[in-house]
Amino acid sequence: GILKERQIKTEQVKAVLKAGFDNVVDVVKRGDALRSAATRPEFKEEVIAIVRLVNILKQAEEWGLMIPDHVKEELLQEKEEMNLYRHWKKIEPQLEKLLREQDYLQVYQILSTLRHSIHDFFEGVLVMSEDKTLRLNRLSLLNKIGKTFLSIADFTELQVK
């Protein structure tokens, strides 16, 4: 199809289609963005961070946890979660604008700046805390980031080596 003609790999096509296929132009733009992003030397590390984040959200969903829409800044305790939150808040308005414009490569490139913050978050923060309030707040932060990545593609479909 159209995506194959544009040299978009099969796994990338699956990832993009799994994120939604209501609008063909949108699918092609997301496919092109993913194909370009995949050429970046950091892509493997970025995908590993994204997949880890998405898998925790899937686990929370399987457990039936209702993740709140808003992060409560006053509940952020660890420096790693505060850093990730601040970084997210700094880029969020720009991402919303770029998503409206369907500039998915720019969205991905900006999201990819979170890679180290996400890694540090997972190293320094127990997401599934015994404290339900903290757990849900941490999941809320991850959910905001995860939803934005998943608006481009389902990165769990990608095989990174």
Q: How many domains does the chain have?
A: 1
- Host domain of residue 87: 43-155
Identify whether 141 is part of a domain: yes
Identify whether 61 is part of a domain: yes
**Which residues are CB-neighbours of 8 under 8 A, at least 6 positions away?**
16, 31, 32, 34, 35
Identify whether 14 is part of a domain: no
Identify whether 99 is part of a domain: yes
Identify whether 134 is part of a domain: yes
pLDDT score at 53? 94
Identify whether 143 is part of a domain: yes
Cα dihedral 114/115/121/123 (nearest 10): -170
pLDDT tens per residue across all 161 residues of the chain:
788 789 899 999 999 999 998 899 999 999 999 999 999 999 999 999 999 999 999 999 999 999 999 999 999 999 999 999 999 999 999 999 999 999 999 999 999 999 999 999 999 999 999 999 999 999 999 999 999 999 999 999 998 76
Question: Alpha-carbon distance 82 to 33, whole Å?
Answer: 30
**Angle (nearest 5°) at CA 106 between 102 and 108:** 95
Identify whether 101 is part of a domain: yes
CA neighbours closer than 13 Å in the CB half-sphere of residue 134: 12
Identify whether 52 is part of a domain: yes
Any idea what the CATH number is for the domain that residue 107 is in? 1.10.730
